[in-house]
């Protein structure tokens, strides 16, 4: 569903300004929305997978050690700790921290940036469409590319959490197209997470 919404949005962005959208700025904005959509889908998939793993770990520990025993608490602690670190919730109550809320905030900020970039390019089509490297064109390019800096912390945090989840056995990425796309985004378009 999320993929469909983002595809429709991208099509609307390119169609909203008719023949004047031949320039690369609108294509970059459309591409940015598509990338954010892919990160959103992967985030939701990991969130669901992690939740299912925590439930399975609780059942396994209960079967092996019995409910509410010291050994059960030790057994289930890694799964609960990892889940709390991800969601930022303790006993279902938000703490104001957590990787998931940070990722969602980064996605929201990046979307707002792209929407603002669309409005800016639309209002300055002549200047943005110049072939020469003028100050006005550079301003357009800066506006259009601003989403990358906003999304990068969230995308990098997501990849890091998935990699940690894989080591814990909480998530599998073998053949996962969304994970591969996210890695491509981070490494080639956002410039890597170590910079």
**How distant is the alpha carbon of residue 46 from its chain centre?**
11
| pLDDT (tens digit per residue) in 41-81 | 999 999 999 999 999 999 999 999 999 899 999 999 999 99
Is 118 part of any domain? yes
Is 9 part of any domain? no
| pLDDT (tens digit per residue) in 24-43 | 899 999 999 999 999 999 99
Phi, psi of 20 (to 5 degrees): -75, -5
Domain count, the chain: 1
Is 14 part of any domain? no
Is 2 part of any domain? no
Q: Are 129 and 156 in contact (CB under 8 A)?
A: no
Is 72 part of any domain? yes
Strand-pairing partners, residue 93, are 90
User: What domain range includes position 182?
Assistant: 31-189
Is 195 part of any domain? no
């Amino acid at each position: 569903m999320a993929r469909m919404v983002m595809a429709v949005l991208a099509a609307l962005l390119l169609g909203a300004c008719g023949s004047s959208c031949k320039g690369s700025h609108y294509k970059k904005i459309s591409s940015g929305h598509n990338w954010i959509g892919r990160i959103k889908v992967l985030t939701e998939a990991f969130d669901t997978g992690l939740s299912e793993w925590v439930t399975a770990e609780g059942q396994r520990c209960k079967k092996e050690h019995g409910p509410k025993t010291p050994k059960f608490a030790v057994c289930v602690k890694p799964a609960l700790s990892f889940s709390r670190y991800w969601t930022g919730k303790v006993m279902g109550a938000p703490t104001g921290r957590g990787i998931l809320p940070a990722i969602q905030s980064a996605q929201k900020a990046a979307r707002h940036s792209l929407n603002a970039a669309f409005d800016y390019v639309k209002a300055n089509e002549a200047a943005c469409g110049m072939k020469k490297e003028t100050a006005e064109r550079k301003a357009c390019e800066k506006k259009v590319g601003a989403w990358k800096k906003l999304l990068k912390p969230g995308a990098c945090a997501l990849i890091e959490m998935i990699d940690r989840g894989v080591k814990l056995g909480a998530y599998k990425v073998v053949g996962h197209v969304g994970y591969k796309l996210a890695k491509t985004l981070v490494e080639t378009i956002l410039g890597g997470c170590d910079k």
